[in-house]
Structure 1
Amino acid sequence: MPKRGFSGQRFVLVLYAGLVAVAGTAGFLTATFVDNLEPPAYLFLVEFPATQLGFAAYGALTIATVLGIPLLVVVYVSQYVDDPDAVSPKD
């Protein structure tokens, strides 16, 4: 019977998706309640409109990038970098 619940990769992915959703919601709410906002620029290159949807996309994409790149590095290192001393202790 497969294990259910949140552990390991599933927990990290759910936490990542939740944080991205919170950032998108924060962007949407910011554009809703703050007047005279200037358009945000994702990575200083792509300019989003100063609307609720634009700020929601900007917030979600920014957090997805800021958290996603280090997460991908951790996944890569954990799968492909081998530590020869980790298997057997030195005599």
Structure 2
Amino acid sequence: MPQRGFRGRRFVLFLYLALVGVGGAAGFLTATFVDNLEPPAYLFLVEFPATQFGFTAYGALTIATVLGVPLLLVVYVSRYVDDPDAVSPKD
């Protein structure tokens, strides 16, 4: 029977997407209400225009990267790294 509701992976994915949306909304609101902004540079490499769309993309991508990289590391470790205590000791 399929799982319903927000548990486990679904909850983490929903929370991740919600936080990325909040980052994008914060970028949009910043560009809307603050004057004379300089163009943001994503990872100091890709420069976005100093517009509402540019700050929205910058905010969403920054939060996605800052939260996504550690989340992917946790997923990798939980799947592929063995637990040394899970194996019984050799006699």
Number of residues paired by the alignment?
90
Match of 2:31 in 1: 31
Match of 1:42 in 2: 42
After TM superposition, which residue ranges in structure 1, 4 or more long, deviate above 2 angstroms? 86-89
Task: Give matches, 1:1-91, under 5 Å.
Answer: 1-86=1-86
Cα shift at 1:3: 1.9
- Listed as ranges, the gaps of 5+ residues in structure 2 are none
Deviations 1:11-38 (A, max 9, x none): 0000000000000000000000000000
Aligned counterparts of 1:11 and 1:43: Cα–Cα separation in 2: 28
RMSD, aligned CA: 1.5
- Percent identity for Structure 1 against Structure 2: 84
Aligned counterparts of 1:2 and 1:70: Cα–Cα separation in 2: 28
